[in-house]
A = this chain, B = another copy of it.
Amino acid sequence: MSVSLTGCRLALLAPIAWPTPPSGYGPWEQIAFNIADGMRRRGLDVTLFATGDSTFSGRLASVVPAGTNEDPTLNADVYTALHIGRLFERAADFDLIHNGFDWKPLTYALATVAPPMITTIHGFSSPPILAAYYAGAARSFYCSISDADRDPGLDYLATTYNGIDPEAFTFVDRAGDYLLFFGRFHPEKGAHLAIEIARRAGVRLKLAGIPHDEAYFRTAVEPHIDGDAVQFLGHVRGPARDELLGGALALVHMTTRPERFGLTLIEAMACGTPVLGAATGSVPEIVVDGVTGFTCATVTDAVARVPELAALSRAACRERVVTAFSTERMVDRYLGAYRSALALRTPPAPSPERLAARRHDWWDRPMAYTDDPPHAAHQSFELTIREAHDDSVVGKPPTGS
């Protein structure tokens, strides 16, 4: 039975680091915009909760006047709390809440009588945030952004791959003559591996992005920059970005940490540029091996694939985005998730396997590792209530689990 969603009063909670949509960087805000605008066009009654300087052809609700990353005088902690609290304050006005702002809104949802809620998990930044997702699982449905980026302790309503508007990217039918690294300079993003691949394959490499880990950039990247074989372009945006993506022979995406989704992959493919990517995380779900690029287990594998890149069909790359990773396909997937959430109302009880996974060591998660995170002695997310009897005193519980 299909539930009509026309007129469905949807509250969409966007992040507030940047406006929705962002003018430059801001992937979560961009996706939130794509969903809000897509749902509006599909006839839902959308209220977008975002920064006041966002632009939306629908109803915009805001507490914070601008992005907290745009205006350093805005206290991000205070405005995050008010942004979320103000949505839940009027939860009764909506038929459905879609949370695009990570884990914190889940803790507000616990305390609110509210309609069905869906949370997009954009990725687990570190093991401790599992506490919030496990607590919120009783209250919110979850969507993952790839099949790979799922936690064994959680149930998911759907995989809702991120989507972009292919028309926003210029298709280039001719294979370029340089490899491209595009992303943050951080060991897990693998710029150093892109450098090694380009050097061994004898192909020019262009590097674009922000030095997120400056020590890494100075030691592992900068010494290789010569302005010719290895070129550094810094932060590239707007039309220059489109041109850079489209002009490449391939995007090199040899991440050492499993990618959660990888927006740049589909942006490159929308331009016709194939991907030379690591065979880990979401990459094999996005890149059709041998068709829209190659998924490689090792640097040596990747080097061997470089001569084959020019022969790949650039039209197939773009077609892959249009059919699988467009905004419209993303909106379709979310509409399916919305229908399921409205039919079920509340998440079903988790299986014994899920509950066991929640007790299992949280630091034992391939998707959840961070830069040398401290391993926690404690893992907890439920409320423990202890009573003192006969003038005894409660407290000092045993540690662990």
Contacts and interface: CB of A to CB of B under 8 A. Distances in A.
Interface of A: 19, 47, 52-66, 71-75, 78-79, 81-82, 84-91, 103-104, 106-108, 110-113, 126, 128-129, 131-132, 135, 374-378, 380-388, 391-397, 399
A85 B73 contact: no
Contacts of A108: 85, 107-108, 111
B377 A71 contact: yes
Among A55, A73, A375, the one with the most B-chain Cβ atoms within 10 Å of its Cβ is: A73
Main secondary structure of the interface of A (DSSP, over half): loop
A106 B86 CA distance: 11
A126 B75 contact: yes
A394 B111 contact: no
Contact of A85 (B129, B135, B384): B135
Given A107-B84, A132-B78, A57 B388 contact: yes
Nearest to A87: B111
Contacts of A112: 111-112
A86 B384 CA distance: 10
Given A89-B111, A376-B74, A378-B66, A385 B61 contact: yes
A40 to B, nearest CB: 9
8 contacts: A55-B394, A56-B395, A57-B393, A58-B387, A64-B378, A73-B375, A75-B129, A85-B106
A399 B51 CA distance: 12
Contacts of A66: 378, 399
Contacts of A60: 385-386, 388, 394-395
B56 A393 contact: yes
Contacts of A78: 103, 128-129, 131-132
A55 B107 contact: no
B128 A74 contact: yes
A270 B52 CA distance: 52
Given A63-B380, A132-B82, A388 B58 contact: yes
A92 B112 CA distance: 11
Contact of A71 (B65, B110, B378): B378
A132 B56 CA distance: 26
8 shortest A-B CB distances, which residue pairs? A88-B111, A85-B107, A75-B128, A55-B395, A73-B376, A81-B107, A65-B378, A73-B374
A55 B311 CA distance: 70
